[in-house]
């Protein structure tokens, strides 16, 4: 069965510093991987996804993520954090060879400190 | 705005009651997904429909049911409600199912259900 782990409930980063939000996954086949962001009282917004090809994926708002097959990880990164990046971030996985549901991690709350 | 519309935005009801949540997918999207978000359980996949047919099932309780209509809108029915059913229910849509496309799913703003 598919699963996603986000080991940190919360990450605190000073504004201007680089940030990383961690994600590891488990699927029986090859994965499609996604990052979504949720602002307070809002739905989830798509940030980026890995399908195939280059392991470094660039997305919205200056975010990027690196797919590492050997470590089964898909960490979200940004070189310089903004206070406005403070939100709840979800990693998600879809198994290419199985059914179509997308499974989400529990989310990581990102606090950017001014 | 994702293009996925959910109604109602907020709903307060009593235990034992039944409610229906409605979702209109993005124009052209054939797949609809339902998720439940609660503080202790995170974002749980409930069920997926594609072009009117059930495609995948997750942690959906027997008291809950869903359907997708010919015009592609979907409804999630929650019955015999319990306090623990209080949560934010999201609908999402995508053009086609299938891992072979890796299509993104787009979320609505959610329906807040409070059971008292």
What is the predicted pLDDT for the residue at A47? 95
Asked if residue B14 lies in contact with residue B104, where contact means CB atoms within 8 angstroms, the answer is no
In chain A, which residues have their Cβ closer than 8 Å to the Cβ of B100? 96
Please write the tens of the pLDDT for every residue from A64-79: 999 999 999 999 999 9
CB contact (8 A) between residue B106 and residue A46: yes
The shortest CB-CB distance from A101 to any of B45, B104, B106 is to B45
- Our CA-based measurement puts residue B88 at a distance from the nearest CA of chain A, in whole angstroms, of 10
Please write the tens of the pLDDT for every residue from B40-97: 778 899 999 989 999 889 989 999 999 999 999 999 999 999 999 999 999 999 876 5
Helices and strands per DSSP (H, E), number in chain A: 0, 12
B41: Cα separation from own chain's centroid:
16
- Our CA-based measurement puts residue A51 at a distance from the nearest CA of chain B, in whole angstroms, of 6
Please write the tens of the pLDDT for every residue from A1-49: 788 999 999 999 999 999 999 999 998 888 889 999 999 888 899 999 9
Question: Which has the minimum average pLDDT: A53-62, A88-97, B55-64, B92-101?
Answer: B92-101
């Amino acid at each position: 069965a598919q699963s996603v782990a986000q080991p940190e409930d919360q990450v605190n980063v000073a504004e201007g510093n680089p940030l990383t939000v961690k994600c590891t996954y488990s699927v029986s086949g090859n994965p499609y991987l996604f990052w979504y962001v949720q602002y307070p009282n809002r739905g989830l917004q798509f940030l980026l996804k890995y399908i195939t090809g280059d392991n470094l994926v660039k997305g919205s708002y200056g975010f990027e993520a690196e797919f590492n097959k050997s470590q089964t990880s898909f960490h979200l990164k940004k070189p310089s954090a903004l206070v406005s990046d403070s939100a709840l971030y979800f990693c998600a996985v879809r198994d290419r060879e199985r059914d179509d549901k997308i499974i989400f991690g529990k989310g990581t709350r990102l606090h950017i400190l001014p | 705005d994702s293009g996925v519309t959910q109604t109602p935005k907020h709903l307060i009801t009593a235990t034992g009651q039944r409610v229906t949540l409605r979702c209109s997918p993005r124009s052209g999207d054939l797949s609809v997904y339902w998720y439940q978000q609660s503080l202790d359980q995170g974002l749980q996949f409930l069920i997926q429909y594609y072009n009117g047919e059930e495609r995948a099932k997750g942690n959906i309780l027997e008291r809950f049911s869903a359907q997708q209509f010919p015009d592609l809108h979907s409804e999630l029915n929650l019955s015999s409600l319990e306090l623990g059913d209080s949560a934010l229910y999201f609908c999402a849509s995508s053009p086609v199912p299938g891992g072979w496309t890796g299509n993104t799913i787009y979320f609505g703003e959610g329906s807040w259900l409070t059971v008292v």
